[in-house]
Chain A
Amino acid sequence: NAGVTQTPKFQVLKTGQSMTLQCAQDMNHNSMYWYRQDPGMGLRLIYYSASEGTTDKGEVPNGYNVSRLNKREFSLRLESAAPSQTSVYFCASSSSGTGAQPQHFGDGTRLSIL
């Protein structure tokens, strides 16, 4: 019973490098989300995808891009990493784009930018 799976779990990058965080869910959920969590800031929405084929910006989208590859997979890309992007990244999914369903989270990716 995997739920939401994120890879990698840890990553260290140098400033200017690029990388893609992967997320896959096996719950047949329509909506998927990417958050970052920083001390004292709570969870902040980076991008979301209400359904397959659509993506929209959240609260803090600058420096990130996303791809909803199919219903299961939603990836987050950092094109040119900056130290300010050091954070814990969580992917989440929920069953409806307009309903009142709670979100289920992956285990997170701990990313450090040197």
Chain B
Amino acid sequence: QKEVEQNSGPLSVPEGAIASLNCTYSDRGSQSFFWYRQYSGKSPELIMSIYSNGDKEDGRFTAQLNKASQYVSLLIRDSQPSDSATYLCAVRNSGGYQKVTFGTGTKLQVIP
């Protein structure tokens, strides 16, 4: 079982719709969770961090964390073509140093 799992996609949504990206993780002691956006040929860019159960909203983005079920999700409201990218889920493990494990990413395509 991979430590951090994401559906590779592509996930296609029409412009203006809600895109829902999901991620599951195996380390039950994980403390910190991050979503990165990566455009083709570019470096990962942090878009959301979440540390406690529940929802965290930032503009059109909402991160949701459920530690009991070991999943974290990212919702993108009013999706725009500029949101088309690969979204990486990253999880800080429960080890003593700041090791972060990345999922392989979900490719999102927003269709105009």
Binding site for B on A (CB under 8 A): 31, 35, 40-43, 45, 48, 50, 56, 58, 90, 94, 96-108
Interface residue count for B (Cβ, 8 Å)?
23
Are A99 and B98 CB-contacts (below 8 A) given A40-B104, A42-B88? yes
Kindly list chain B residues whose C-beta atoms are within 8 Å of the C-beta of A108: 42-43
* Closest chain A residue to B49, Cβ basis: A102
A99 to chain B, nearest CB (A): 7
Bound CA span A102–B47, Å: 10
Interchain CB contact under 8 A, B104 and A105: no
Contact, CB under 8 Å: B104 / A41: yes
* 19 new A-B contacts at CB < 8 Å, known A42-B103, A43-B44, A90-B43: A31-B98, A42-B88, A42-B102, A43-B102, A48-B99, A58-B99, A90-B44, A97-B97, A97-B98, A98-B97, A98-B98, A100-B32, A100-B98, A101-B98, A102-B46, A102-B90, A103-B34, A103-B46, A103-B90
Question: What does the 1/0 interface line of B1-16 toward A look like (CB < 8 Å)?
Answer: 0000000100000000
Does B85 sit at the interface, judged by CB under 8 A? no
Q: What's the minimum C-beta distance from A30 to chain B, rounded to whole angstroms?
A: 9
Could you show 12 A-B contacts with beta carbons less than 8 Å apart? Answer: A40-B8, A45-B100, A48-B97, A48-B99, A50-B97, A94-B98, A97-B97, A98-B97, A102-B34, A102-B49, A105-B44, A108-B43
A101 to B90, CA, bound (A): 12
| In contact, B99 and A45 (Cβ under 8 angstroms) | yes
Nearest-CB residue, chain B, relative to A91: B43
Instruction: Find residues 75-112 in chain B having any chain A CB closer than 8 Å to their own CB.
Output: 88, 90, 92, 96-100, 102-105
In Å, the complex CA distance between A90 and B98 comes to 17
Residues of A within 8 A of B102 (CB): 35, 42-43
Residues of B within 8 A of A105 (CB): 43-45
Question: Is B31 part of the contact surface with A, judged by Cβ < 8 Å?
Answer: yes
Q: Is the CB of B31 within 8 A of A100?
A: yes
Residue in B closest to A59 when the chains form the complex, CB atoms: B101
